Amino acid sequence: MEHPLGRPDFLDAVAGFATGVVVLTVRDGRDDHGTTVTSFMSVSLEPPMVAVGVASSSYLAEVLRRRPRWAATVLGAGQRALAGRFAAAGRPGARILLAAEPHHRGPLSEALIVDDGLSALECETRQTVDAGDHVLFIAEVLSAEYVAASADPLIRVNRRYLT
């Protein structure tokens, strides 16, 4: 049954909500996967927890269901091109996308972390919630790196990045 609120109306209504931009990465054996997300938020202080929404039909959602440890790098205003690369359809693996960027592998998650992000969190999924066409991964934060206290975050609002 189709919802009475049309998809374009919903998208227009929520597009005005400004969000930070995060690159989410996960290691799956020899492969590294990643994507840009704007549906990311803190949900608990004790224990420290975050939630991220991923399209349920995506391969990344499948990987996150079997690989509970992952990393989230909060991007700075100067990282718009990186966000675009991780958001592109048909993108290559995360290792290739980060080949020209300073990065390291998180010691707890083994996921790739962008060195120049504002902060980075290594997380372990504790709960998944099916939410329409997305899956929410609710995760405990295992470690946090706070890199750039004075830098501006990359913000997305009205379907575009603020500069």
Mean pLDDT of the chain: 91
The residue among 14 and 81 whose pLDDT is bigger is: 81
Q: How confident is the model at residue 128 (pLDDT cuts 50, 70, 90)?
A: very high
Backbone angles phi, psi at 48, to 5 degrees: -65, 125
The residue among 128 and 160 whose pLDDT is bigger is: 128
Provide the token pair at 149.
């206290």
* Domain-embedded: residue 38: yes
* Domain-embedded: residue 143: yes
* Domain-embedded: residue 24: yes
Mean pLDDT calculated for residue range 16-34: 93
Total structural domains within the chain = 1
* CATH number where 107 lies: 2.30.110.10
Which domain range does residue 67 map to? 20-152
The per-residue pLDDT for range 73-103, each reduced to its tens digit, is 999 999 999 999 999 988 999 999 999 999 9
Share of the chain above pLDDT 70, in %: 93
Q: Residues with Cβ < 8 Å from 103, sequence gap 6 or more?
A: 112, 113, 114, 115
Query: Given this model, what pLDDT does residue 1 score?
Result: 56
Query: Given this model, what pLDDT does residue 2 score?
Result: 66
